[in-house]
Structure 1
Amino acid sequence: MRVKRQPLAAIGVGLLVVFVVCAVFAPWLAPQDPARLDLTGRLMGPSAAHWFGTDELGRDILSRTLYGARISLVVAVSVVGLSLAIGLVAGCLAGFYGGWADTVINVYVMNAFLALPGILLAIAFVAFMGPGLGNVIVALAISGWVGYARLVRGQVMAVKEREFVEAARALGASDLRVMTRHVLPNILQPLIVQAAIGMAGAVLAEATLSFLGLGVPPPAASWGSMLNDARSHLFDSPHLVFFPAMAVMLCVLSFNFIGDALRDFMDPRTRLSAGL
């Protein structure tokens, strides 16, 4: 019944399962080595030998698309995990203690990061540190933690005034115990939704950096670098663009569908009106 009421959620979960399977089992699913060159078979269209065709160096696009799922999902999970960890600490300190801590973290630090476009900050960091998977993850986390921190701060400020928190304080509970046992469990719902949607943004951001040549260096397969390589063959070999672009679109779509479904499921008013 829930699948019928939320078909987009089922589609999102199904797409995500497909991408996870492709990423985990890429060495067994890929028909060829994604870095294998075959200059005699360059720019071939989709066929029985190469289901997605070949690129300008004769590399199998299906194999590169499968391996590209690995990079995108690793970046998405790592960036959201690191951003959420930083944002959770900063937001809890600002919202729980207030005063000068809130002024320094919220007014000065957060606003300073928000004054710079996130993708430009990530580009500047990667350009300075050099391309690489680790640098891409750190760069996107540096530019993405502020949104989580703002969300955590607002939630903590609301929850810390509740009666059960005051009761815990009256019983002598320490700040750490109040935070971990009473505050954090009551702010997880919006964080889970934000994390799911944030993974979609991380996939797009990684593809953008790779498209600009600032992502994972060659010969590693990345959807963004595949799109960059296909620019000069957009009209004579459109399959070079179509398959990695569809992979990016479907991956982002799956995370967005899951995030919307989680938001509806975790909102008691929405669940009541929908009969969930």
Structure 2
Amino acid sequence: MAFDYDQYIRGGKLPHIWCPGCTYGIVFKSLLRAVDTLKINRDDIALVSGIGCASRLPGYVDFNTLHTTHGRALGFATGIKMAKPDKHVLVVSGDGDATAIGGNHFIHACRRNIDITVLVFNNFIYGMTGGQYSPTTPAGHLATTMPYGNVDTSFNIPELAKGAGASFVARGTAYHAAGLDKLIIEAVQHKGLSVVEIINACPTTHGRRNKFKSPTDMLLWMKDTFLPAAAFDKLPAEKTAGKFPMGVLFKKEGVPEYCETYYGLVERLKKQREGRA
């Protein structure tokens, strides 16, 4: 029996605005399958976004949703989680939205280990605003603001998240959709700040400038470039040059979660004051 995506989609919102060949639709469906597998009530989900191509996703789903300002999705999501700690709060954010203008919010959400799931849609470019280079644009790649090739070193988002204190870090790709379903499920189930970097294709503003002849070429690049972490770790250095691990890259259980710590402190102070009354 085919999966019924319509049950999670707001009426009258489709077709979506993503370009032909963009892989955000693949990830969109992966997220819906993950929610369905987890059997989460739609009213118990808050899906938050900032600005960019990825930010349009909440407008299509029948959850509690919030489309916020550029780079501020995690700030708004933190407020929601603090006010409604029983809800599942998820953030969808692009590579620029999350790690450029939103970089401070990103590292401090990781530091706090607040129970939010962050899905970073990494297509290596500012797709919506004209093809400017982003913090993840590979060295040498062309962009409207790097017409002779990017000279900056690009962020490794999983390592950034791990270093900042996230207790669950993973990487998936739009090509490996079945595996991505499982990563999103595990990220949502984890207690603490979960970051899943999702490698995506932007054929319009990234692929055309960088010798990808078609969206298919970009998907095949994902297939050839990203290896399961267990296999990647066993290979000699010469076999992993130019390749990257995917899957769960870091997971630490038992790390204090921010809301529990905060409200635990509130309760202790309340009892102390009652005892003095």
Instruction: Give the TM-score taking structure 1 as reference length.
Output: 0.26
Q: Which has the higher contact order (CA 8 A, sep 6+)?
A: 1
Greater fraction helix: 1
